[in-house]
Chains A and B, each alone.
Chain A
Amino acid sequence: MAQALATTLVVASLYALLGAGYVLVYRASRVLNLAQGDLLTLGGYFLFATAATFPGAPVLALPLAAALSALTGVLVYVALMRPMAGHPVFAAVLVTVTLGILLRAAIVLVFTDRTRHPLQNLGLSNPPRPLAGGAVVSTFDLVMVGAAVAFFAALFVFLKVSPLGIRMRAAGERALLASQRGINFHGVFALSWALSAFAGGLAGMIYSSNVRLEPSLGILGLRAFAVALVGGLDSLGGVVPAALLVAAVEVASVRWGNPLLSDVSPFLCLLVMLLVRPWGLFGTKEELERV
């Protein structure tokens, strides 16, 4: 039982980081970024590259990889999402799908599709840690939980207190009004994309250090969007409870069901949510129509 709780917490941390990425982007561009999973993979490969460039210097490699992830987010906004403003939402979503395909192709082209382990070059190890109650998790499992907690705490303070964060919230509520009050919403949206890519990249760096690194990690992203929808697509606060819920269902379905069922369990959560409350647990209630 303690093991199940610990696993739930670790999986929920991964989903929360990815879910935050979805919500940040949704608030900026009203688009579901289906390339979030590939941004996660990219973060892992950035770490692999920087670790290979600066072997044995995690102090240098980790921040550099994180900065590269954030920069990717800005580039994606400027190159792909800004031109899509005014196009139908579906076209914009498809552009993110193609972004995912392009990122994956670029990764295979540069790094080949061999399975990698960034930790080897980083000079760090990943020993198991016994916890109270007999549960055992790996060190980077703990790092994942810590990173998620730190990211959400920093994001909360940033959005509540700093002027830039308040501007970001304003632009997320209503871009037109915000721009009329003099907010440079292109800058704010680029920052949203940077934060989103950073969160995904961070999750990718930790996940690939913990488990393995290969181009197909992007699947994780598809499963995590259930989290964003269950919490409410425009609600950052909803991500954490939704991540815990989806992770708990997933861990439970491994325990009492089978691995196939656990693969599909996030989508079952998503379907139930769509039928009951399409705007999510904490999202802004949208006008629903019945035909």
Chain B
Amino acid sequence: MAALGGGYFKTSYEADLALVDTRLRRVALGALVVALLVLPRFASGFVLDLVSQAAFAAIGALALNVLTGLAGQISLGHAGFLAAGAFTTAALVERGLVSPLVTLPATALVGGVLGLVVGMPSLRLKGLYLALGTLAMHHVVLYAAGEMQARAGGNTGFTIPPPRLGGLVFRGTVAWYYALVVLAALVLFLVVNLQRSRAGRAWMAIRDRDVAAASVGIDVARYKLSAFVWSSVVTALAGALFAYHRGFVSVEAFGFFVAVEYIAMIIIGGLGSALGAVLGAAFVTLLPYVIDALVAGVSPDAAQYYVFPAKFGAFGLLMALFLLFEPLGLVGIWRRVRNWFALWPFRHRPLRASS
């Protein structure tokens, strides 16, 4: 019950730097890692595919969360970055450069340059105007992709062969499951560390008040741009992953609704929190399947007819409810529940940490 007294007492720098600080958390994390490792032995291909999709969404949501949640720069163009990554990969594959060792760095480069270009207006524009700029940029990227798709012979998209690294071929549900989960964990680790680094603190300062941030010596222009570049590089790489994972790239997969979905993930999860981005990604990815099951359970005949509007509507309704009533998102709910148990029978944390 040490937590009741108000705080953890850290007595060494190592303890302060540790990401996982208590024994309970170490055990829980270990259990999660083991569970994820052995899951393919027990779960069906469908479940593995769901987890893979959630992991993929988590990569994109974490990247968007750095830009919007940490640095406070609103972006409605996240789907554009994804499309840029996917189509860069497709263009290279089309020209015979199929190795991921070529495509991934190239995709990262394109993502970085695009992030720089989209980020430039953020030095002058704020709020609504910036959101509009990113939305316009999304449409321009989609236009370029559409032109490319039309030039390639008027077909419906590009087919991407599975990636090869030496003798290793990524193919099949299990291989992709491991690849995506490991990559998502890697990005999560990066983001958690970024949050407490110099850059992360600078981004949060800019989010809270850019004038104040500038007055304590933060180079606002540099850090705004670096947030855009960081986010767009990771998102473009996610786009390349999308291309390899699905094996098919087409403009239709990157509509405005995809950008809305990613924003919904970080809103529902909890803005500015890495855990929130992961939770939100899992939530938004799994929601349609849950509703599928519910509708099919209630009335199998009407399922065909009601499934699409029910999914779409439930998604909109949940997003509206979180915006109106729970701006802290799932993470906010989780913290409240945790505090309730930790503090019971009291309602509030002590005002001062007893020392």
A67 at interface, CB cutoff 8 A? no
Interface residues as binary, A14-34 with B (CB distance below 8 Å gives 1, 0 otherwise): 000000000000000000100
* A229 x B132 contact (CB < 8 A): yes
Interface residues as binary, A88-105 with B (CB distance below 8 Å gives 1, 0 otherwise): 011101110111111011
Of the listed stretches A42-50, A241-249, A256-264, chain B binds A256-264
Interface residues as binary, B311-329 with A (CB distance below 8 Å gives 1, 0 otherwise): 0110111011001100100
- Which residues does chain B contribute within 8 Å of A291, judged by CB atoms? 123-124, 210, 214, 220-221, 224
Given A97-B260, A101-B260, A101-B313, A264 and B139 contact (CB-CB distance below 8 Å): yes
The residue from A106, A267, A274 contacting B125, defined by CB atoms under 8 A apart: A274
B308 at interface, CB cutoff 8 A? yes
The residue from A89, A102, A267, A275 contacting B316, defined by CB atoms under 8 A apart: A102
Interface residues as binary, B131-161 with A (CB distance below 8 Å gives 1, 0 otherwise): 1110111011011001100100000000000
Interface residues as binary, B73-93 with A (CB distance below 8 Å gives 1, 0 otherwise): 010000000000000000000
The total of Cβ contacts below 8 Å across the A-B interface reads 116
Complex CA–CA separation, A95 to B322 (angstroms): 10
Complex CA–CA separation, A274 to B123 (angstroms): 12
A254 at interface, CB cutoff 8 A? no
- Which residues does chain B contribute within 8 Å of A271, judged by CB atoms? 133, 136-137, 140
* A101 x B136 contact (CB < 8 A): no
Given A98-B316, A267-B139, A291-B220, A32 and B150 contact (CB-CB distance below 8 Å): no
Interface residues as binary, B170-198 with A (CB distance below 8 Å gives 1, 0 otherwise): 00000000000000000000000000000
- With both chains docked as a complex, state the minimum distance between the C-beta of A42 and any C-beta of chain B, in angstroms: 14
- Which residues does chain A contribute within 8 Å of B135, judged by CB atoms? 222, 267
Interface size of B by CB at 8 A reads: 45
Interface size of A by CB at 8 A reads: 44
Given A91-B323, A93-B131, A94-B267, A261 and B143 contact (CB-CB distance below 8 Å): yes
- Which residues does chain A contribute within 8 Å of B324, judged by CB atoms? 80, 83-84, 95
* B125 x A278 contact (CB < 8 A): yes
- With both chains docked as a complex, state the minimum distance between the C-beta of A267 and any C-beta of chain B, in angstroms: 4
- Which residues does chain B contribute within 8 Å of A260, judged by CB atoms? 143, 146-147, 150
* B137 x A109 contact (CB < 8 A): no
- Which residues does chain B contribute within 8 Å of A94, judged by CB atoms? 263, 267, 319, 323
- Which residues does chain A contribute within 8 Å of B125, judged by CB atoms? 274, 278
Residue of B nearest to A110 (CB): B309
Complex CA–CA separation, A283 to B228 (angstroms): 28
* A109 x B306 contact (CB < 8 A): yes
Complex CA–CA separation, A243 to B125 (angstroms): 23
Complex CA–CA separation, A191 to B139 (angstroms): 33
- Which residues does chain A contribute within 8 Å of B140, judged by CB atoms? 264, 267-268, 271
Given A98-B316, A270-B132, A271-B136, A263 and B143 contact (CB-CB distance below 8 Å): yes
A284 at interface, CB cutoff 8 A? no
Complex CA–CA separation, A94 to B329 (angstroms): 14
- With both chains docked as a complex, state the minimum distance between the C-beta of B155 and any C-beta of chain A, in angstroms: 15
* B312 x A101 contact (CB < 8 A): yes
Q: Chain B interface (Cβ within 8 Å of chain A)? A: 74, 121, 123-125, 127-129, 131-133, 135-137, 139-140, 142-143, 146-147, 150, 210, 214, 220-221, 224, 256, 260, 263, 267, 305-306, 308-310, 312-313, 315-317, 319-320, 323-324, 327
Known: A105-B316, A264-B142, A274-B125. 4 other contacts (CB 8 A): A260-B147, A261-B143, A270-B136, A291-B224
Q: List 20 A-B contacts (CB under 8 A).
A: A89-B128, A90-B74, A90-B127, A91-B327, A94-B263, A100-B316, A101-B260, A101-B313, A101-B316, A105-B309, A105-B316, A222-B135, A233-B128, A260-B147, A260-B150, A261-B143, A263-B139, A270-B136, A274-B132, A291-B210
